[in-house]
Homo-oligomer: A and B are copies of this chain.
Amino acid sequence: MHSTRSDAQETLTFETRGRGLFEVTAEIAGVVDRSGIRLGLCVVYCRHTSASLLIQENADPTAARDAEEWFERLAPEGDPRYSHTLEGPDDMPAHLRSAVTSTSETIPVGEGKLVLGTWQGLFLFEHRTRPQRRELVVHVQGTA
């Protein structure tokens, strides 16, 4: 018997509403469902340097708000030491907040589902002030 091993790749587009965390767990789970893969890996890849990925608690919205504000303090806007200001005051902080969060995340798939913990959600973290069009490449590899 041949194993039915396969690769499925989709590019998802999101319109963000400006700076903040946007949960995308359901959209990523949809790619896993469509792939038919039961046991394998799901890679999520963010094609940007001023937006990133974050796996965080999705139960209490105060956790997301505290996280957003903490990252704003960690890499503040308007620091006079930045040289890279041509694309606006929110651009360099966006690169720094991206640098300390994730560009790629790999989540195992078991019994056809992402093995996320009970309280975990996957978020697209928009770091620019204004709404942007963002692309995530989702790749699922494994056996049906």
Residues of A within 8 A of B (CB): 2-3, 5, 7, 9, 11, 39-41, 43, 45-49, 54-57, 60, 62-63, 65-67, 69-71, 74-75, 81-84, 86, 92, 95-96, 98-108, 110, 115-120, 135, 137, 139, 141-143
B39 contacts A7, CB within 8 Å? Answer: yes
CB < 8 Å: which of B9, B11, B108, B141 contacts A45?
B108
Establish whether residues B95 and A39, one from each chain, have CB atoms under 8 Å apart when the complex forms. Answer: no
Residues of chain B lying within 8 A (CB to CB) of residue A43: 41, 106, 108
Q: Given that A65-B83, A95-B67 are known contacts, is A49 also in contact with B45, CB under 8 Å in the complex?
A: no
Nearest-neighbor residue (CB-CB) of A135 within chain B: B117
Q: Is the CB of B60 within 8 A of A86?
A: yes
Q: Which of B5, B39, B135 contacts A9 (CB 8 A)?
A: B39
Shortest A47–chain B CB gap in Å is 3
Q: In the complex, what distance in Å separates the CA atom of A9 from the CA atom of B115?
A: 11
Asked, given contacts A83-B66, A117-B48, A120-B47, whether A7 binds B95 with beta carbons under 8 Å apart, the answer is no
Given contacts A56-B99, A66-B92, A99-B54, contact A107 B45 (CB under 8 A): yes
Contact B70 A96 (CB under 8 A): yes
- The answer to whether B41 touches A120 (Cβ under 8 A) is no
